Amino acid sequence: MSTEEGDEWFYKELIPKFKAMPEVTRILSSKVLRDVNNCPYHRLTEMWFDGPTDWYRAAVEKTTSIKKPTWAQQEKFPYLKSRYQITSVFVTDIAEIDNMTQYRGYITMR
């Protein structure tokens, strides 16, 4: 699949479906400058919800109406293998951790 094919499905199928859901309060998406930071991902997308119940309703229950692309790797939405080609995180407005005060500097991995 080319980036253009993925973007076409993203903008013509995925985004309009989420945009129509009343549970989604905001969508922000941008391409990643991969040559700057060697990031393996192509796009970062934020979707805002009022809470986990709205997220679940939109991202799990209502995604059956999103047309499966020809390049799908699995039958269920998001159609890509988790933690391999797509990663998602749900963050609430009241975070339970404070990464800034817990930061102890860069720790090498070897």
CATH number at residue 59: 3.30.70
Burial (CB count within 10 angstroms: exposed 0-12, middle 13-18, buried 19+), residue 63: middle
pLDDT digits (tens, 9 = 90+) for 44-102: 888 888 888 998 999 999 999 899 998 888 888 888 777 666 666 666 666 666 666 66
Q: Is residue 42 in a domain?
A: yes
Q: What's the structural domain count of the chain? A: 1
Q: Which residues, including other chains, have CB under 8 Å from residue 19's CB and lie 6 or more apart?
A: 27
pLDDT band for position 20 (cuts 50, 70, 90): very high
Alpha helices in 1-110 (DSSP H): 3-9, 15-19, 34-37, 52-56, 99-102
The verdict on residue 45 lying in a domain is yes
Residues whose CB falls within 8 Å of the CB of residue 55, separated by 6 or more in sequence, listed in order: 23, 49, 90
Give the residue with greater pLDDT, 105 vs 65.
65
pLDDT at 81: 75
Q: Please indicate whether residue 41 or residue 56 has the higher confidence score (pLDDT).
A: 56
Look at residue 110 and tell me if it is in a domain: no
Let me know if residue 27 belongs to a domain: yes
Has residue 19 been placed in a domain? yes
Greater pLDDT, 93 or 1: 1
| Residues of the domain holding 54 | 3-102
C-alpha separations of 59 from 52, 65, 103 in Å: 10, 11, 32
Gap between the Cα atoms of 90 and 100, Å rounded: 19
Residue 8 placed within a domain: yes
Band of residue 11 on the pLDDT scale cut at 50, 70, 90: very high
pLDDT at position 96 is 63
